[in-house]
Amino acid sequence: MYDTGYSPYYIHSFEIIGGAVRVPAVKTAISEAIGGATLGQHINGDESMSFGASYIAANLSASFRVREVNLHQPIGPEVTIDIFGLEEPYSKTLFEEDSQHGITKKFGVNATDDFSFTVKQGEKTVLEGEVKGIKEIIESEEYLTNGTTPLIGMKASFSRTGIIEIKDVRAMWK
């Protein structure tokens, strides 16, 4: 069983590109690893990377209409957010390990003061930021009328291009 979760039984053909097509030992090792499935050598290795990159770029662009090319690459290590400056510590898993790109999640925190946050992918910090203006919200007429602690709603997204964003931060009332 490999990272995909499928055994070699599910592979019926395999296309080799690049320099591997010229190395008999590599072809033999791949053939044995996938249970003897057919090894194809039909794609020009030099052109295949350019074509693939072009299709992916056109697929992500709003300027071109192409048949959709799906590339599903897992996120990798889980993505978490830690929020500092709240009355109680806050930590949340935004995206599970090996989730797919193109996900958006909503969450909220109760806050009475400005706060900062750190987003990590595994152990690596990928995004840091601050949310300011909460004191102004609490001093606003709407808060004085409502009287509850504002819930700060946030959206976290992991785009198809691999960019993690915290966006649409807004005060909401319970």
**What percent of the chain is modeled with pLDDT above 90?**
24
Summarize the confidence of residues 25-44 as an average pLDDT.
Answer: 79
Q: Kindly list the domain boundaries of the chain, sorted by start residue.
A: 8-60, 79-172
3-state secondary structure of 77: coil
Assessment of whether the complete model's pTM goes beyond 0.75: no
Q: pLDDT tens digits, residue range 123-162?
A: 999 999 999 988 887 787 777 776 677 788 999 998 877 7
Query: Which pLDDT band, with edges at 50, 70 and 90, does 1 fall under?
Result: very low
Strand, helix or coil at 41?
A: coil
